[in-house]
């Protein structure tokens, strides 16, 4: 009887562990699927590409709704899931300013613009997210992943991997804004990939 009790207890513990593991995995998957879904909504909004500097409120500040650049796609998608990258990046930069790029000659963080710069987002995701493999294999890229590119010289770009595949079924489409507004396009391997991340809470 004692043996049966301990065997039953072990079996129940194994089942409980399995359920917790699966639940955690599903929860993570659901977050990134929802991130990709939130970016779909952005493609329905008419946005003119505008890299201008804007003074915005803090936290949860956003530039005018009809304007934006590539980083604003990321910021707005995450904000729909309750993550304010303006606040997250600003707080991390205040505490760790030396770890962030000095490309703009700043001596201290600027909560109006820091989160809207690709190199800063790359640093933040590297520090607080998961750095994923950079490859030419489309199977390495999943919905909700954040991808960064070098367009040439010092010009960087950023987008989110969607749940939808390209017409040939080989690659996921990308949510981004490279000048034509917040769109979903087949451009994963159109430029040199310099960053691949997964970030969520």
Nearest C-alpha neighbor of 180 from the set 164, 157, 196: 157
Question: For the residues 117-137, what does the mean pLDDT come to?
Answer: 98
Question: Which has the minimum average pLDDT: 3-17, 72-86, 156-170?
Answer: 3-17
Q: What is the tens place of the pLDDT at every residue in 14-46? A: 544 444 444 444 444 599 999 999 999 999 999
How far, in Å, CA of 28 to CA of 86, rounded? Answer: 22
Could you tell me which of 159, 121, 143, 171 has the C-alpha nearest to residue 28?
143
Extract the tokens encoding 4: 């049966």
pTM value is 0.85
Domain containing residue 149: CATH number: 3.90.1720.10
Residue 196, beta-bridge partner list: 147
For residue 61, the enclosing domain spans 2-198
Query: Which residues, in sequence order, are CB contacts of 14 under 8 Å at separation 6+?
Result: none
Residue 84 has pLDDT above 90, yes or no: yes
Domain total for the chain? 1
User: Average pLDDT, whole number, for the chain?
Assistant: 90
């Amino acid at each position: 009887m004692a043996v049966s009790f301990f065997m039953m207890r072990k079996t129940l513990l194994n089942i409980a562990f399995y359920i917790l593991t699966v639940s955690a995995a599903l929860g993570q998957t659901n977050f990134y699927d929802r991130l990709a879904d939130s970016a779909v909504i952005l493609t329905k909004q008419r946005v003119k590409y505008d890299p201008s500097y804007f003074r915005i409120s803090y936290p949860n500040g956003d530039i005018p709704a009809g304007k934006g650049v590539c980083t604003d796609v990321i910021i707005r998608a995450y904000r729909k899931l309750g993550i304010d990258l303006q606040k997250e990046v600003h707080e991390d930069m205040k505490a760790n300013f030396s770890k962030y790029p000095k490309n703009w000659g700043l001596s201290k963080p600027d909560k109006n613009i820091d989160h809207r710069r690709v190199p800063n987002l790359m640093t933040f995701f590297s520090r607080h997210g998961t750095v994923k493999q950079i490859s030419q294999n489309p199977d390495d890229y999943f919905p909700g992943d954040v991808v960064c590119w070098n367009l040439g010289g010092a010009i960087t770009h950023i987008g989110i991997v969607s749940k939808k595949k390209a017409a040939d079924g080989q690659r996921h489409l990308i949510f981004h804004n490279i000048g034509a507004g917040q769109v979903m396009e087949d451009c994963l391997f159109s430029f040199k990939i310099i960053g691949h991340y997964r970030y969520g809470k």
